[in-house]
Amino acid sequence: MSTAADVARLDGARNRPGRTAVWIRPERVKELSLLGVIVVALLVFGFLVDDYFSGRFFNRVTTSVAITAVLAVAQTMVIVTRNIDLSVGSIVGVTAYLTGQFASSNPSTSPAVAIAIAVGLGALLGAINGVIVAYGRVPAIITTLGTLAIYRSWLISHGEGRTITADSLPSWVVDLPTRTVFTIGGLDIRVVFAVVIVVVAVLQIAMQRLRWGRRLYAIGSNPEAAAQAGLPTRRLVLGAFIACGALSGFAGFLFLSRFGNITVVAGQGLELDSVAAAVVGGVSVLGGSGTLVGAFLGAVLIDVLDQSLVRVPQVSEFWRNAILGALILAAVIADVVVGRRFRRRWSAEARPHTKVDSSTDAPDTTKVPALTAPEQGGEAGDA
Amino acid sequence: MPEALRERSWELLLAVILVGTIVYNATQSPVYLDVDNFVNLFRLSIEKVIVAVAMTFVIINGEIDLSVASVMAFAACVLAAAHESGVPFGLAIAIALAAAASAGFVQGLVVARTGISSLVVTLAGLIGFRGAARILLEDRSVGEFPDWFGDLGRADFLGPMPFALVLFLVMLVVGGVILHRSSFGRRVYVIGNNADVARFSGIDVARVKLVLFTASGLVAGLAGVLFAARLGSVRANIGEGFELDIITMVLLGGVSIFGGSGTLLGVALAICIVLNLRNGLGLANVEANTQTGVIGALLIVSVLAQNLLDRLPLRRREVEAEA
């Protein structure tokens, strides 16, 4: 029976007309619909605001989105393993402050050294999180809630209320946000934005193609099964936290160059922004599903709304959070309601294939587990 | 026998830490053992502590409510906005509490009906209800509440205790009875352990969750109103970041973040530890932010210690189960 169905399906696939049907896969619907929402948002604001589509607006969005986009991607790498990192805001604060301190006392600091310090420090802080979570078996939400407080309080006592000022920094740091790679049609593509795009693209490919990336998804889909299959789950989770920390450190560097003046509370609250961007971007907090591109688009959407609402005369700035909250809710509900219908059809079509796929480490395709509730009993057993 | 011991070992550990903290603090400062100091340390965090009781239920149920601090601010702002527009004050309080309860109800409805993780739903609530508070008061500060309302927040109500502290103690007892002695409480645990099994056993999982989230919203609203009474004026940004402190208290109390286990006694002990630790560190001239760091470390170390303690008996139990 199943072989006959297989053959029929394969034939069907071969006879399928364009490549579109293959290209629009369930996991891509999220990104595509998100892209659609961004376009709709831009059009709506274009109607409401005079002179909306300007080079300055583009610059403002691309400059400010860089930080949250990096953090959203960092957060996603941890979330797909069914963990969470609430300490990213504190990591941004610590790395921005310490990198700034180093750069202001060594005016000859080169860009490479400054970035290396920020990324290295971030990776170190991420490694602390990862070791406690993976080897100490402390739930990630508890660990990072703790380190959120610990990193921040260390920074506050280290900084003693001093502020890193923009004029004490090497001039290249402060000039970085306005540096432009090239200009197309009056739109400046800023260096920072270009770098972020490259980082997101490279990491997306790594998550999608490399065994390491696929294994992160496998762990998030089903930790027990991943362990049974012999994956080094602890090392992989540690790796995800280190990657998240390193990216947060990079975001800390971007934070430093964007604002110049860094206080000890720098980056406070960014952890929730990063989770929000990832969630709007279709990343399931239950792990195992969601892409970095999605998280990036989620960050872009939130930032576009953020930057646009200020300019709509009918809406006061005080509406910002209410709209953002409603948006997050709408995004996840739409994902469940619409996504469930789509995915059911797709998974019915592709069942013979998923059987093979899901036993190896390629779980992202047409699986359903992201929709079903996690089995909480498993973890609760030894708590 | 080891099972019963293991069940209580967490509270035992907390009690030891608490006694240690109190003894250490007493040697550090002569004013520490004053009754007034004890009441005062509750007075300054009473809103968080009240919300922690409701949060205990939510987390044992296997969910989480990140929106509590925003709902607190939302309720306080509804109260202030209603008062400002001339609504009688008693009615304004009722409206504020109803608004907070509906905030919880809506989130509970989404969680129960769609099965979306409560982490996400209440994250949206955290941002959204803070936004609603901002829409109501913008960047103004509203005060000039009736005198009796200010007294409710600040004056002694019963002996040296303010109203909020008495309320907390009542909630603790009532909550303890509901959680540990009623069938509803058992259902909360069963769902937290395994929602699927609960459903197949005929428990109306959605209804329990709805009740808990509504209650969580209502309690947060109550805390918000009391916060307004204590502060004497309301802004949209009050209580920002409280959710993390509240969750820390509950988790330190030995409640599993995955649901299904933990006791209100543990949470009560954890609350005492956090408050005494902060107070003691404060009396020893340790800065507030360092205190926060110490409590963060305590949170991690406590779970880490529990894991290490668990390792041996757990292994033995697994071996027995296999045999």
**Mean pLDDT in chain B?**
89
Tell me the chain B residues in contact with residue A157 when contact means C-beta distances shorter than 8 Å.
287, 289-290, 293
Q: What pLDDT, in 10s, does the model give residues A283-292?
A: 888 888 899 9
Write the pLDDT tens digit of every residue in B127-141.
899 999 999 998 899
Residue B115: list chain A partners with CB under 8 A. 336, 371, 373
At residue A322, the pLDDT reads 87
Span A52-74, average pLDDT: 90
Cβ neighbours of A337 (radius 10 Å): 10
DSSP string, B25-81: HHHH-TTTT-HHHHHHHHHTTHHHHHHHHHHHHHHHTT---TTHHHHHHHHHHHHHH
A55 and A186 in contact (C-beta within 8 Å)? Answer: yes
- For residue A182, give the 3-state DSSP assignment: strand
Rounded to the nearest integer, the mean pLDDT of chain A is 82
Measured distance CA(A207)–CA(A292) in Å, rounded:
8
Q: How much is the average pLDDT of B77-90?
A: 95
Say if the Cβ atoms of B193 and A376 lie within 8 Å: yes
Place of tokens 């280290």: A158
Query: Helices marked H in B85-117 — which ranges?
Result: 89-114
Q: Do A132 and B304 touch (CB under 8 A)?
A: yes
Inter-chain touch A157–B290, beta carbons under 8 Å: yes
A148/B244 Cβ within 8 A: yes
Pair A129, B238: CB distance under 8 Å:
no
Return the SS3 of A219. helix
Read off the tokens for A364.
Answer: 């992202």
Please give the pLDDT value at position B311: 67
The b/e string for A91-104 (b: 16+ C-beta within 10 A; e otherwise) is bbbbbbbbbbbbbb
Nearest CA in chain B to A152: B293
Look at residues A347, A150, A69 and name the one whose alpha carbon lies nearest to residue B248.
Answer: A150
Structure tokens at B232: 């004497």
Residue type, A2: S
Q: What's the pLDDT score for residue A351?
A: 60
Interval A307-324 mean pLDDT = 80
* Rounded Cα gap, residues A268 and A160, in angstroms: 17
Task: Return the sign of the alpha-carbon dihedral for residues A364, A30, A310, B235.
Answer: negative
Say if residue A371's pLDDT is above 50: no
DSSP, res A138: -
What band does A204 get if pLDDT is binned at 50, 70 and 90?
Answer: very high
CA–CA min distance B299, chain A (Å)? 6
The per-residue pLDDT for B28 is 78
- Give the model's confidence band at B278: pLDDT under 50 very low, under 70 low, under 90 confident, else very high: confident
> To the nearest whole angstrom, how far is the Cα of A290 from the nearest Cα of chain B?
14
Q: Could you report the per-residue pLDDT of A163-176, keeping only the tens digit for each?
A: 898 888 998 988 88
Residue A157 CB burial class (10 angstroms; 0-12, 13-18, ≥19): middle
From chain B, the residues in CB contact with A278 under 8 A are none
Q: What is the mean pLDDT of residues B280-301?
A: 84
A381 or A134, greater pLDDT: A134
| Of the candidate ranges B114-128, B169-183, B218-232, the one whose mean pLDDT is the lowest | B114-128
Residue whose structure tokens are 């903290």: B21
What does the pLDDT read at residue A350? 64
Q: Among the listed ranges A1-5, B12-16, B59-63, B175-179, which one has the minimum average pLDDT value?
A: A1-5
The tokens describing B135, both together, are: 């829409």
Cβ contact B300–A138 (<8 Å)? yes
pLDDT in the model for residue B313: 55
ipTM for the complex shown: 0.81
Q: Identify the pLDDT of residue A9.
A: 46
Percentage above 70 pLDDT, chain B: 93
